[in-house]
């Protein structure tokens, strides 16, 4: 379907992991389907100005970005208010600004797409007679858990993490109690209630968009379509439209990191990074540093100072760099000892570009969904090191279902992963037969992702189908 006459607004909650997939969806709608897109970004008075780091060019003329009036939730939160609860509050506070912004538009949007934190904007879509969609920018298994949580809430007593049996979701892979998403870790916390409400509201939209594709999530997608229980819970279409990808960067001057990669041999470098917000304890950073050093494997490591308030915080001194340039939170002399085979990048690197470079052969990642997709698109197998949100689920899926990752024996959020284990995982991924198999598997997925996105592919068709529904609604 060519949606050249359509105008779609996408509401995005604060946070890089949310903004990235929304900008990619906006670009996809504009470039592949000729849709005019307005991205409505919820901002807070204290959000760091980080979006410039993304370097995702959006289609001029077709994609507009509007920053909504900043919201302030400081009077609503307590020191222990968790992130999901905060995001839901921000979106609630933003509702008047969303309403007035849409109302002031000359060309009103025909459809409103919200991310899963924005489901309370449902009445606004109805008010302006817009088609309404939820974009869950992650995988289908996480989405199934979210949609089924209101049922689990009635069926299961006590904390999910204390259950002896796996959690059963109809037609889907069983969920290990310790893998549940962060808001399900404590049923007495406010963010759990927000999460259950989210699961209840999503099926009231006209459809769900997922940043995944048929081959990656076939079991869950089949369950949504064919399982009787699911058909009674989710009566709306589920559209797998991913993996959305970044446009190719225009040729320009190369970053120092890419120049360094240009000098390395094919698939010889492991890239180590824990997303836009992932931080490790001081003790874990030390073990990771020694693990990389022991592996003698070429690496690029995006490092951040350790988590504040960790028991071992005394390790963190006021000195920022040692005499050889080693950041103070890395072991003394680390840069000197690893300088001929490793590169330490403080805080931030152009990750998608790095994972696409032929010299990169492994990715140690916190398994955020964007990072996971970028790794698959680069054909790069992973060391799955989940930290927060739905990352434990993602890690299990990558290891057990897709066979494209190796993971530590213990959950890194529960116990420090020792240097010897890190060394072993790096060697397995980069040298071993096991690593070879994972590489083969991820390369097959890379090809299947490309096929899904190409014209006539499953994800391309699924997005066309959704746009056709919007156009049909307009005619009705």
* Minimum CB distance to ligand UDP smaller for 91 or for 130: 91
| Using rule CB under 6 A, residue 166 touches ligand UDP | no
Angle at 359 between CA 353 and CA 365, to 5 degrees: 60
Phi, psi of 270 (to 5 degrees): -100, 135
Which one of 7, 18, 33, 469 is the catalytic residue? 18
**Interface with ligand UDP includes 275 (CB under 6 A)?**
yes
**8 A C-beta contact, residue 306 and residue 329:** yes
Instruction: Give the nearest distance from C-beta 388 to ligand UDP in angstroms.
Output: 7
> Which listed residue (58, 101, 190, 276) binds ligand UDP by CB under 6 A?
276
Contact string (CB under 6 A) for ligand UDP, positions 217-256, x = contact:
----------------------------------------
- In this structure, the chain runs to a length of 476
CA within 13 Å, CB half, 368:
17
Contact with ligand UDP (CB under 6 A): which of 136, 282, 352, 449?
352
The residue annotated as part of the active site, out of 7, 33, 115, 239, is: 115
Q: Restricting to residues 362-391, which ones interact with ligand UDP according to CB under 6 A? A: 368-371, 374
Residue 449 is a binding residue for ligand UDP (CB under 6 A) = no
Tokens of 196: 């259950």
Q: Closer CB to ligand UDP, residue 6 or residue 244?
A: 244
Rg (CA), the chain: 22
- CA-based nearest residue to 101, from 128, 122, 126: 128
Q: How far is the CB of 227 from ligand UDP (least distance, A)?
A: 28
Q: Whole-number minimum distance, CB 276 to ligand UDP, in Å?
A: 3
β-pair type (207-210, 131-136): parallel
Specify whether the CB–CB gap between 329 and 319 falls below 8 A: no
Q: Is 413 in the site for ligand UDP (CB under 6 A)?
A: no
Judged by CB under 6 A, which stretch of 14-22, 393-401, 412-420, 444-452 contacts ligand UDP? 14-22
Q: State which residue, 276 or 464, has the beta carbon closest to ligand UDP.
A: 276
Minimum Å distance from CB 382 to ligand UDP?
12
* Residue closest to 216 by CA, chosen among 455, 48, 474, 457: 457
Q: Of these, 6, 12, 20, 210, which contacts ligand UDP (CB under 6 A)?
A: 20
Least distance (Å) from ligand UDP to the CB of residue 204? 26
- Reduced to 3 states (helix: H, G, I; strand: E, B; else coil), residue 386 is coil
Residue 273 within binding range of ligand UDP, rule CB under 6 A = yes
**DSSP result, 182-236:** GGGS-TTSHHHHHHHHHHHHGGGSSEEEES--TTTTHHHHHHHHH-HHHHHH--S
| Selected binder of ligand UDP within 166, 168, 229, 348 (CB under 6 A) | 348
Shortest distance (Å) from residue 265 CB to ligand UDP = 24
Would residue 115 show up in a list of annotated catalytic residues for this protein? yes
Beta strands across the sheet bearing 131-136: 63-67, 36-41, 7-12, 111-115, 131-136, 207-210, 238-240
CA dist., res. 210 & res. 142, Å (int): 10
The structure tokens listed for 187 are: 């049923």
State both tokens at 386.
Answer: 């989940």
- The torsion angles phi and psi of 84, rounded to 5 degrees, stand at -65, -40
Total interface residues for ligand UDP by CB under 6 A: 18
Cβ contact 359:268 at 8 Å: yes
Residues with catalytic annotation?
A: 18, 115
Site for ligand UDP, rule CB under 6 A: 16-17, 20, 273, 275-277, 302, 348-352, 368-371, 374
């Amino acid at each position: 379907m060519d949606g050249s006459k359509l105008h779609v607004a996408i509401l995005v909650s604060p946070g890089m992991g949310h903004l990235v997939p929304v900008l990619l969806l906006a670009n996809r709608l504009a470039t592949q389907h000729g849709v005019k897109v307005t991205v409505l970004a919820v901002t807070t008075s204290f959000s760091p100005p980080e979006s410039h780091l993304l370097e995702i060019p959006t289609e001029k003329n077709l994609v507009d970005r509007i920053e909504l009036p900043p919201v302030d939730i400081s009077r609503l939160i307590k020191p222990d208010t968790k992130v999901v609860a905060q995001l839901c509050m921000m979106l609630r506070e933003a509702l008047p600004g969303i309403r007035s912004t849409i109302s002031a538009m000359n060309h009103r949007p025909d459809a409103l797409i919200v991310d899963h934190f924005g489901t309370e904007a449902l009445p606004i879509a109805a008010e302006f007679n817009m088609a309404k969609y939820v974009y869950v920018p992650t995988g289908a298994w996480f989405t199934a858990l979210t949609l089924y949580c209101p049922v689990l809430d009635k069926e299961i007593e006590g904390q999910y993490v204390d259950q002896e049996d796996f959690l059963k979701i109809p037609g889907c892979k069983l969920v290990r109690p310790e893998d549940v998403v962060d808001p399900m870790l404590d049923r007495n916390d406010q963010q759990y209630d927000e999460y259950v409400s989210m699961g209840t509201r999503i099926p009231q939209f006209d459809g769900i968009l997922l940043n995944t594709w048929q081959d990656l999530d076939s079991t869950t997608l089949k369950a949504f379509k064919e399982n009787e229980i699911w058909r009674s819970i989710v009566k709306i279409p589920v559209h797998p439209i991913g993996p959305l990808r970044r446009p190719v960067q225009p040729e320009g001057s190369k970053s120092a990191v890419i120049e360094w990669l240009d000098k390395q041999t094919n698939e010889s470098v492991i890239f180590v990074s824990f997303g836009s917000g992932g931080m490790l304890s001081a003790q874990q950073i030390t073990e990771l540093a020694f693990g990389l050093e022991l592996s003698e494997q070429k690496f690029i490591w995006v490092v951040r100072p350790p988590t504040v308030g960790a028991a071992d915080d005394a390790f963190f001194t006021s000195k920022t760099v040692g005499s050889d340039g080693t950041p103070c939170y890395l072991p003394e002399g680390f840069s000197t000892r690893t300088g001929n085979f490793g590169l330490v990048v403080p805080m931030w690197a152009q990750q998608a570009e790095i994972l696409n470079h032929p010299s990169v052969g492994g990715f140690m990642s916190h398994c955020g969904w964007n990072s996971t997709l970028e790794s698959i698109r680069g054909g790069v197998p992973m060391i799955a090191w989940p930290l927060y949100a739905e990352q434990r689920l993602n890690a299990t899926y990558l290891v057990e279902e897709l066979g494209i990752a190796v993971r530590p024996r213990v959950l890194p959020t529960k116990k420090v992963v020792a240097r010897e284990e890190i060394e072993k995982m790096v060697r397995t991924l980069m040298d071993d037969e096991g690593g070879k198999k994972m590489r083969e598997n991820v390369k097959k997925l890379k090809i299947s992702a490309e096929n899904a996105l190409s014209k006539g592919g499953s994800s391309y068709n699924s997005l066309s189908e959704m746009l056709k529904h919007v156009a049909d609604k307009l005619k009705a």
